Amino acid sequence: MLFKDLKNLVKETHLPLHEVILSYEMLESAEDPETLKNSLSSLLRAILEISERVYGKTFKTLTGLTGNNASKLSKNDHGLLSEFMRCAVITALSMSENNASMGKIVACPTAGACGIVPGVFYALKKIKGFDFDTLLKGFIVSGGIGEIIASKATISGAVGGCQAEIGTAAAMASAGLTYCLGGNIEAVEAAASISLKSLMGLVCDPVGGFVEVPCVKRNGTAVTVAITSSEIALSGIKSVIPFDEVVDAMKKVGKSLPETLKETALGGVAVTPTAKKILKRILGKLT
């Protein structure tokens, strides 16, 4: 699936974008419409329920390197973020720390990047009071963006670096948010493109191979990229480069990244002196 195909179909059929994506998915998966909609509904319901349950909590993670970021942020407010942004960041950190503590999450698109999409959808519900049906339409659009990236490029950090995980999640979140807020297909494309371009080149460098550092905080900061990109797109600002070409570029960047920067924990912050010291301590405790 290409974004330009979606654009053409919306133009030809006059159907809303989320319905075009659903029809596309039905053809691809051979699922009947009811089953497909039900499975997407249950995923979104799970995202909203888990977000509510873990919001701002403290977690006991495998390494102890993370686990209190969401709770610290929820107790401290320096007025730098809007209420919406703050809720999204706390949700993203909470979900990501929940993942690091082996809690239940919905991979969207992956476990490492599981906080960003929930960040925007939970904030839409909690702060803006959006109803489930509207959120579901946006969630379908988020899924469509993820599907395009997965089929054209990759959503795996081991294959394309963190841009493929966190970058994809930000593009999905931004597209869904823009759609929920009434953005047309051009705005959705701009939001997804700006998010992915903003995170292009991001390397995968988890300390010790544990999905905690820098992953948890990246979820928290990347959700702000998604929201900012949405605000930019909703203002009528276009992406100069079309989404399909941005995805192609991300794929090429991923291919040109060395293996040390693709989930091997052999590069980036994973090999800093502090990371090495911490790892020695953790491994000593685990053995």
Minimum distance between the CB of residue 178 and ligand SF4, rounded to whole angstroms?
23
Closer residue to ligand SF4 in complex, CB, 140/211: 211
Q: What angle do CA 163, 71, 59 make, to 5 degrees?
A: 75
Question: Between residues 120 and 185, which has the closer beta carbon with respect to ligand SF4?
Answer: 120
Least distance CB 18 / ligand SF4 (angstroms): 27
In the complex with ligand SF4, the residue whose CB is nearer, 36 or 47, is 47
Binding site for ligand SF4 (CB under 6 A): 112-113, 157, 162, 165-166, 204-206, 211, 215, 218, 263
CB of 237 to ligand SF4, least distance (A): 27
Please state whether 241 falls in left (phi above 0), alpha (psi between -120 and 50) or beta: beta
Nearest CA among 191, 62, 184, 172 for reference residue 121: 172
- Measured from the CB atom, is 138 or 254 closer to ligand SF4? 254
Q: For residues 156 and 153, what is the distance between their CA atoms, to the nearest angstrom?
A: 9
Q: Given the complex with ligand SF4, which of 209 and 236 has the nearer CB atom?
A: 209
**Smallest gap from residue 206 Cβ to ligand SF4 (A):** 4
- Give the nearest distance from C-beta 218 to ligand SF4 in angstroms: 6
Nearest alpha-carbon partner for 206 in 146, 261, 257, 167: 261
Using CA atoms, how far apart are residues 179 and 173, in angstroms rounded to an integer?
Answer: 10
Least Cβ distance, residue 165 to ligand SF4 (angstroms): 4
Q: How many other C-beta atoms lie within 10 A of the C-beta of residue 87?
A: 25
The overall longest dimension of the chain from CA atoms, in Å, is 62
Complex with ligand SF4: residue 97 or 231, whichever CB lies closer: 97
The set of residues, in sequence order, having a beta carbon less than 8 Å from that of 243 and lying 6+ positions away, is 3, 145, 148, 189, 192, 193, 196
- For residues 155 and 164, is the Cβ–Cβ distance under 8 A? yes
The letter for the amino acid at 255 is K
Tell me how far, at minimum, the Cβ of 254 lies from ligand SF4, in Å. Answer: 11
Q: How far is Cα 100 from Cα 54, in angstroms, rounded to an integer?
A: 13
Closest CA to 132 of 20, 41, 23: 41
By beta-carbon proximity to ligand SF4, the closer residue of 146 and 183 is: 146
Q: What is the C-alpha to C-alpha distance for residues 193 and 24, in angstroms, rounded to an integer?
A: 21
Work out how close the CB of 201 gets to ligand SF4 at its nearest, in angstroms, rounded to a whole number.
Answer: 12
Amino acid at 231: E
Rounded to whole angstroms, how far apart are CA atoms 215 and 66? 10
Q: Decide whether 180 or 253 has the Cβ nearer to ligand SF4.
A: 253
